[in-house]
Amino acid sequence: MKMVMAVIKPHKLDDVREALTGVGVAGLTAGEVKGFGRQRGHTEIYRGAEYTVSFVPKVKIEVVVADNQIEAAVEAIQKSAQSGQIGDGKIFVYDIASAVRIRTGETGDSAL
Amino acid sequence: MLRARTIGLGIGALTLFTAAPAMAAEINSGDTAWIIVATALVLFMTLPGLALFYAGLVRAGSVLSVIMQCVMIACIASVLWMVVGYSLAFGDSVGGWIGGLDKMFFEGVGTDSVNGTIPEIVFAMFQMTFAIITPALIVGAYPERMKFSAILVFSAAWLLLVYAPVAHWVWGGGWMAAMGVRDFAGGIVVHATAGVSALMLAKMLGPRKDFPNHLRPPHNPGMTATGAAMLWVGWFGFNGGSQLAADGGAGMAIAVTHISAATAAITWSVIEWVKFGKPSLVGAVTGVIAGLATITPASGFVGPIGALIIGAAAGVICFYLVGLVKNRFKIDDSLDVFAVHGVGGILGTLLLAPLAAVSLGGGGQADGVSMMDQLGVQALCVAIVIVWSLAVSYVIIKVTQGLFGLRVDPEDENTGLDLPSHGERGYEL
């Protein structure tokens, strides 16, 4: 089992969700985060005073998938979240030690 | 508890019985109705207009503290005004310098006593709403870093030692009124005093930690715009009500108020558009307020063309003063009380002399007074009030600092004041 974590542009969330369910991923968790990489922040001006806002709003999604789904999931995210502009984000893959479905107590791949 | 209430009722009953019955013919019900409404409009300017205007400009963690400051200043000013403030401002003059104590606790201000064509109680309440908003304006100098106890003590002392005397000099039959100074609705009494005192307080308090390079932007520009809109509407009562009558003069006061607000906002937005490429909402509504503050002293004396000129001047001059105070003088007058209200009030006080000209649609100069004469009186009175405000504020702040300290703990300044000062959170996210 692996967790595929991706930081993406917020407006791409719906596209990524569709792409993931399209390859058979059953669920995902999404949260609003802020970050920066090569995308610099921006400057806002209020009453003539400049405010530098270094962080850019992003969305972080996490999906835990069985080993045989990892490639499909990563590809689905990368294709659907891509816009070609700086700031598209990154995908990371973690090892997952175990998983449990809370309602039933199932473990392993059947918990996913 | 019971005893205090009994005494209060006793004083009230005494007042009713001892007030001389006035001629019913002196009271004009149209005038009275309008000033009652105007009173509500001006209170609305503080609660919640100014409160929201300021609250949107600070960080989210301090939103409640700003509103709380406006609420409590309003409450304390109200009680103080009734107890002694009204008397000091409008009581029987002691040599033209200050009112006596003859109207303490609204003594003699019952249902029958008259001021002009309206009941005196209505006049006293209308004036109360001005006494409320003036110290509340100063909130803009010290958000996110001043101790709540110090704020309340400063505001109370300031009301009685700066506002009441100046109100007496200009409106209460004091020595400036005798000189023929013109201040229709408070360019000197409200905006100059508050603006200049705000500058002194901001300087003595010291800047926010993040000033000037790491400030957070306004957390809710929409809230600020909402507050500004309420201020605009309420200002019809502020300037229109200062006519103390429901007549063409009130109508013209409202008209020039509105034209100045609109013109100043357009001017400010044009400057931003040209300078930064984008006209902002915060800038536009700040322009509105600059226009409103600047027309305030002039609203009974100029015509629509004068209002256009005043609005444009306000938009340009207040815009540049914002930058000057913060960037050149490095004073953290956080919400630009001096640049917008102080400068606006002073500017309008001076401009009303030339712009009262009949050729510009104004009401003309006073009988036997030349424009230069009037300008001289305006300048002199403004200068004296500026010095008075600065000096007395300095003393009040020094004493307050000695007794209470001025600043909150540095750690509290980091989080915002809502939790540390008031135990509350503005937003549950």
As given in the structure block, the two tokens for residue B238 are 């502020």
Please indicate whether residue B380 or residue B19 has the higher confidence score (pLDDT): B380
Q: Which residue of A has its CA nearest to B326?
A: A49
Mark yes or no for CB contact A46/B282 under 8 Å: yes
Asked if residues B100 and B172 have their Cβ atoms less than 8 Å apart, the reply is no
Q: Count CB atoms within 10 A of the CB of residue A97.
A: 6
Cα–Cα dist B424/B54, whole Å: 18
Q: How far is CA B339 from CA A26, B122, B137, B140, B159, in A?
A: 58, 33, 12, 11, 21
pLDDT digits (tens, 9 = 90+) for A49-85: 778 788 899 999 999 999 999 999 999 999 999 999 9
Is B276 in contact with A51 (Cβ distance < 8 A)? Answer: no
B217: chain A residues, CB-CB within 8 Å: 44, 46, 51, 53
CB contact under 8 A, B280 and A45: yes
Contact B217 A53 (CB under 8 A): yes
A59, two tokens: 């969305």
Which tens digits make up the pLDDT trace of B55-80?
999 999 999 999 999 999 999 999 99
**ipTM, 2 decimals?**
0.75
Q: Which of B275, B276, B285, B335 is most worth mutating to test chain A (most A CB atoms within 10 A of its CB)?
A: B276
Which of A44, A47, A51 is opposite residue B322, by nearest beta carbon?
A47
Q: Which residues of B touch A51 (CB under 8 A)?
A: 215-217
Give the number of residues written for chain B. 429
- State the count of interchain CB pairs (< 8 A) between A and B: 30
Token couple for B385: 């009030």
**Predicted confidence band of residue A37 (pLDDT cuts 50, 70, 90):** confident
Calculate what percentage of chain B has a pLDDT beyond 70: 94
> What is the spatial distance between Cα B331 and Cα B360, in angstroms, rounded to a whole number?
38
- Give strand ranges (E) for B83-214: 93-94, 98-99, 114-115, 118-119
Q: Residues of A12-41 as b/e, b for ≥16 C-beta within 10 angstroms? A: bbebbbebbeeeebeebebeeeeeeeebee
Is residue A35 a contact partner of residue A80, using CB atoms and an 8 Å limit? Answer: no
* Tokens (6 digits) for B20: 């001389």
Return the higher-pLDDT residue of B22 and B332.
B332
Nearest to A44 among B212, B217, B286 (CB): B217
Q: Are B349 and B328 in contact (CB under 8 A)?
A: no
Q: Tens digit of pLDDT for each residue in B166-214? A: 999 999 999 999 999 999 999 999 999 999 999 999 999 999 998 988 8
Q: Which residues, including other chains, have CB under 8 Å from residue B192's CB and lie 6 or more apart?
A: B342, B345, B346, B349, B382, B385, B386, B389
Q: Do A47 and B212 touch (CB under 8 A)?
A: no
Joined together, the tokens standing for residue B156 give 């109370």
Distance between CA atoms of residues B101 and B223, nearest Å: 41
Q: Is the dihedral of CA B103, B397, B342, B56 positive or negative?
A: negative
Tokens of B122: 């209505």
pLDDT of residue B25: 52
Among B216, B278, B282, whose Cβ lies nearest the Cβ of A47? B282
